[in-house]
Amino acid sequence: MNDYPHPILAREGWPFIAASLLASLAVLYFFGWVWSLPVWVFFAFCIQFFRDPARPIPQGEKSVLSPADGRIVAIEPARDPWLERDCLKVSVFMNVFNVHSNRSPVDGLIVQRWYHPGKFFNAVLDKASLENERNALHIRTRDGLDITCVQVAGLIARRILCYVDQGQTLARGQRYGFIRFGSRVDLYLPPDTRVKVGVGETVKASATVLAELP
């Protein structure tokens, strides 16, 4: 959850990157280039997957920033299953080629945190929001508005990492978690929030403004 600057390769990936590099070198040494090529491909995949570039952070008080890189797959009225309220749901789907660091969409206090073990359906499906493994943060802004930010594991993702907890404060764009290998993040916003993106649009964590709070 450290602020920038931070290593351009996420620390969550260092063991995978190191292991794949050593395996590539070992196979190359003992068996040659042909046999080592698939292992080098996996090493290259690890490098691109765990990249974690710095991003600009818009500072508008009412702005809701994207918590993840990816594609907007849902913008719809919904029922927040965590706070049991009517809301506006915005979902960002991350495929294996997106940056997987998760960043806070707003400045605020973490009122509550929930972790729910679950299944591993394809994260692009709506039922993933209710049935997959997920970690939810209830964030209250300085204006007293409530936002629920939910990390959802996907078909390949089997590990949700969250480094913050109840009682801590988050700054917009602050890195607070990571999901390994394909997933989604759901935002449950006040119903009268004004959305500034469309379904199918590609967004960048902390750099893209998803919506404006009332």
In the residue annotation, 183 being an active-site residue is answered as yes
Catalytic residue among 24, 36, 183, 206: 183
**Per-residue DSSP letters for the chain?**
-PPSS--SB-GGGHHHHHHHHHHHHHHHHHH-HHHHHHHHHHHHHHHHHTB---------TTEEE-SSSEEEEEEEEEEETTTTEEEEEEEEEE-TTS--EEE-SSSEEEEEEEEE--B---TTSTTHHHHB-EEEEEEE-TTS-EEEEEEEE-SS---EEE---TT-EE-TT-EEEEE-SSEEEEEEE-TT-EE---TT-EE-TTTSEEEE--
* Residues acting as catalytic residues: 183
